[in-house]
Structure formats: structure tokens, C-alpha cells
């Protein structure tokens, strides 16, 4: 099976021509972590791992530390990692491995030597505990120099991930799907995270003022911020799902049924306004709606209209069912298609594939889908980190990936 085995993720010819790259080569290649060092992070006292640019397979029993290692990698990009944890939660405990038990060992750190489009770079992050009653502070360094904001990490590394907790994404509330979508958008548009944060901050401040019957002029200022940033958030989501949807509808290649063709769209009031007219008109409508609903929002304790209420809708084109009505295996296949599709879209549009972190990826994937997944990984041009309890499931990657055994917080290379 060649590099086009994951049929639903083939890039349309027009996109390939625009990016000036050939199918399967990933443009200029992908990001890769060549050396990873974890210090007092979760179950790791001090662990260093050397890797090449190809796939990395981590196998071992449950609780051995596989997911912890992926979480460490996920902290090398802006955000709170694949678990969404507080900075203090990931500190290694001297006694007991269970979260919250045992005395904390001290500040944690994650450092890596990264291959990026700009060349080799050393990046690292950790945290500094705040004083009593104060906030913990995240520290970020690039090539030994402390930088002001974690947002700088996006200039040197890009990453996407799938975890077992995300398997219920289509069955949970829209909040989880919005966060999932925003991570996909952020991968190709790092400024998106700043827009989301600015919108949510203004929304919280507005709510606090409404409850306190605060300064109306300041409420108007916050609503203006919500309107401009909120429409920008919705527009970025619409554009990302349009491009991704075009790709996911493709159906050529050796295994057209390994992963389902799918359509994706964002459902929401602001998105509907953008579909109907220009962004400035949508801003005016959102601004007016927020003003009109001040009393109701104050009484209900939330803003009823805005991109924070939007939802990601995914349709399985093979059987015509919404994702939430598909089987467990079909839902997992749809999730894999969305993440790999985003990675491949970036590779062709920007010439660089993101790092992929696939935790317990074999769950709910049958043999055909696993074979298609491994084939796609080999041709993507990205460094992919995979975990699982059964090393035998990853046997088809022999000769194409590095294998490590993880046991009780210790990582050992395997032949």
C-alpha cells in the first residue's frame, strides 16, 4: 500500500498545485522532536529520549507513563496540554503516583531539541509556583533565552493530538467540540488562540459588570470587543472547516472505505450571519444582540448569542448519518480522519506537517483501518508519536518507526 492509502485524506489537485508539492512528500517535511527531556513531570523524575524524524511507538502497561510523555510533548505548544491540566497538577509527587497524593517534588520542566522549518531550535517550558494566593507562572525558553509569552512556542512547533477521552467527542456537549475545532484551526492559524482568549475574557468581564449593574460605557466597550473578536473567531472556524471539508470529501486511492468521507460545518448564529453577508454586518448584528439581551444575560448568567455557543457538525457521507448516530468504530475513524486531514492540509498548504500525538490509537480501529493509518503515517512527512499496551498491534510499522518500552516511568529503546 503506497502513501495514498488513506483515500479520504488525499489532497485535491488544485491544492497540490497551489502548494507546489507532490502527493505524499509533505512539502518541506514536518516538525520533529529529536531529543525530549522531562524533569519532575508526572511520573518522570528525569527522563531523556532521543528520536529521529520518523514515527515513534511507545508501548507498555496501563499506568506506565505513556500518556504522561505525550502530555509533556503537548506542553511544547501554547495551551494547557492534552489533558488541559493546571500547571501545578503535573508536578511529580514524591510519594504515590495518584494525582494529588504525596509531596510535590518541585517545579517541573519539559525541554526539547526540535527540527522545524526554520532549522534546529531548543525550546523548553516549565512553571514557577506563585506565592501564597498568587498565580502559578509558566516559563518558556527558546535557545536558552526566556521569552515573554507561551505564544512564541507556536513559531517553533505545531502539534495535534487524539486521546481516548476524545472518543466521546460526538456524544458530549458542544463545548468539547468547539475546543477540538479551535485546536484544529489554531494549527494553521496561531493567531486564532489569541482571538478566542480575547473574546472569552471580554465575555467574562461583561457578565461581571452586568451582574454588578456596572458602568454602561465599559459594557459597550466590552461588547464591541466581543463583536469584533467573536466574528473573527467564527470566520476562522468557517474558513478552516471549508478547506478541511473539501479535502475530506475526496474519495480516491487504494482503501476508499478505510476512513469515511465526511462533511464538516460550524453551526451557530454568528456563522449564519457570516454566510449571509459581510463581516462588518455580522459585527453590527452581534453588537446589537448583546446590547438588547443585557437584562436577560444578567438574569441567566450567560451570554445567549456568540461563537461560544457554536457547534461542530460532522456527517458520515458513506451512510448519511450524523457523527453522533454512528457506531463507536465509525466515530473513532471520523476523529482520525479529521486530525490527519488537518495535518495533511497544513503540509500541503504551508509545506510543514505538525507533530501528531496519538494516544492508545488502536482502540476501536479494526485491522484494515490500522493498516491504512500506519500507511498514512509513513507518507505524511510528520513525526507521529503513538502509544498502546499491545506492541504486536504496531508490528506493521517495523522498520518504519522507532520503538520504546515504557514501564514505571522508565523508557527503554527496543530493537
> Is 413 buried (19+), middle (13-18) or exposed (0-12) by CB count in 10 A?
exposed
Of 243, 228, 244, 218, the closest CA to residue 307 belongs to 228
The whole-number average pLDDT for the span 200-227 is 97
How much helix, strand and coil, in percent to the nearest 5, is found in the chain? Answer: 45, 20, 35
Please tell me the least confidently modeled range out of 241-255, 362-376, 380-394.
241-255
- Cα gap 317→226, rounded to integer Å: 35
Q: How much is the pLDDT for 3?
A: 28
- Cα gap 333→370, rounded to integer Å: 10
Q: How does residue 57 score in pLDDT terms, banded at 50, 70 and 90? A: very high
CB 404 within 8 A of CB 391: no
CB 160 within 8 A of CB 244: no
- DSSP state at residue 59: E
| Higher pLDDT pick, 23 / 207 | 207
Q: What is the pTM of this model?
A: 0.86
The whole-number average pLDDT for the span 285-311 is 97
Residue 306 has pLDDT above 60, yes or no: yes
Averaged confidence pLDDT in the chain: 87
Bridge partners (DSSP) of residue 311 are: 267
| The three grid cell numbers given for residue 133, joined into one nine-digit string | 494566593
- Cα gap 9→252, rounded to integer Å: 9
Q: What does the pLDDT look like over 24-56, one tens digit per residue?
A: 333 346 899 999 999 999 999 999 999 999 999
Sheet of 262-267: strand order equals 262-267, 311-316, 321-322
Q: How does residue 259 score in pLDDT terms, banded at 50, 70 and 90? A: confident
> Which position has the grid cell 441567566?
300
CA-CA-CA-CA torsion sign (381, 383, 387, 393):
positive
* Share above pLDDT 70 across residues of the chain, in percent, rounded to a whole number: 87
CB 386 within 8 A of CB 394: yes
- Cα gap 127→339, rounded to integer Å: 29
The whole-number average pLDDT for the span 327-356 is 90
Q: What does the pLDDT look like over 71-96, one tens digit per residue?
A: 999 999 999 999 999 988 999 987 54
CB 6 within 8 A of CB 375: yes
Q: What does the pLDDT look like over 10-19, one tens digit per residue?
A: 323 333 333 3
For each of the domains in the chain, give its residue range(s) and CATH number, in order of start: 28-169+352-415 (3.40.50.300), 171-325 (1.20.1050.90)
Q: How does residue 376 score in pLDDT terms, banded at 50, 70 and 90? A: confident
Amino acid at each position: 500500500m503506497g502513501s495514498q492509502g488513506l483515500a479520504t485524506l488525499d489532497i485535491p489537485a488544485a491544492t497540490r498545485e497551489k502548494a507546489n508539492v507532490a502527493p505524499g512528500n509533505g512539502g518541506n517535511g514536518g516538525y520533529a522532536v529529536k531529543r525530549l527531556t522531562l524533569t519532575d513531570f508526572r511520573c518522570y523524575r528525569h527522563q531523556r529520549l532521543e528520536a529521529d524524524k520518523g514515527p515513534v511507538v511507545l508501548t507498555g502497561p496501563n499506568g506506565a507513563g505513556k500518556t504522561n510523555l505525550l502530555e509533556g510533548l503537548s506542553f511544547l505548544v501554547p495551551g494547557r496540554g492534552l489533558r488541559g491540566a493546571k500547571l501545578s497538577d503535573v508536578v511529580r509527587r514524591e510519594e504515590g503516583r495518584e494525582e494529588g497524593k504525596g509531596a510535590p517534588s518541585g517545579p517541573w520542566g519539559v525541554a526539547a531539541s526540535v527540527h522545524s522549518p526554520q532549522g534546529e531550535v531548543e525550546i523548553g517550558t516549565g512553571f514557577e509556583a506563585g506565592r501564597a494566593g498568587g498565580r502559578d507562572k509558566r516559563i518558556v525558553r527558546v535557545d536558552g533565552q526566556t521569552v515573554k509569552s507561551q505564544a512564541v512556542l507556536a513559531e517553533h512547533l505545531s502539534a495535534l493530538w487524539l486521546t481516548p477521552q476524545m472518543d466521546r467527542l460526538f456524544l458530549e456537549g458542544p463545548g468539547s467540540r468547539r475546543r477540538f475545532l479551535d485546536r484544529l484551526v489554531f494549527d494553521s492559524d496561531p493567531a486564532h488562540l489569541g482571538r478566542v482568549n480575547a473574546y472569552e475574557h471580554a465575555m467574562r468581564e461583561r457578565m461581571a459588570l452586568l451582574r454588578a449593574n456596572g458602568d454602561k460605557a465599559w459594557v459597550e466597550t466590552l461588547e464591541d470587543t466581543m463583536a469584533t473578536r467573536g466574528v473573527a473567531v467564527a470566520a476562522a472556524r468557517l474558513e478552516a472547516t471549508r478547506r478541511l471539508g473539501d479535502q475530506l470529501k475526496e474519495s480516491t486511492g487504494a482503501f476508499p472505505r478505510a476512513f469515511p468521507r465526511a462533511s464538516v460545518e460550524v453551526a451557530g448564529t454568528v456563522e449564519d450571519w457570516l454566510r449571509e453577508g459581510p463581516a462588518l454586518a455580522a459585527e453590527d448584528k452581534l453588537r446589537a444582540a448583546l446590547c438588547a439581551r443585557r437584562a436577560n444575560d444578567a438574569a441567566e448568567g450567560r451570554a445567549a448569542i456568540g461563537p461560544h455557543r457554536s457547534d461542530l457538525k460532522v456527517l458520515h457521507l458513506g451512510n448519511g448519518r450524523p457523527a453522533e448516530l454512528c457506531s463507536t468504530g465509525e466515530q473513532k475513524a471520523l476523529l482520525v480522519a479529521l486530525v490527519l486531514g488537518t495535518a495533511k492540509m497544513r503540509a500541503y498548504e504551508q509545506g510543514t506537517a505538525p507533530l501528531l500525538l496519538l494516544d492508545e490509537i488502536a482502540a476501536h480501529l479494526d485491522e484494515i483501518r490500522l493498516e491504512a493509518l500506519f500507511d498514512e503515517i509513513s507518507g505524511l512527512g510528520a513525526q507521529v508519536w503513538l502509544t498502546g499496551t499491545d506492541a504486536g498491534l504496531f508490528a506493521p510499522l517495523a522498520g518504519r518507526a522507532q520503538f520504546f518500552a515504557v514501564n514505571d516511568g522508565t523508557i527503554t529503546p527496543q530493537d
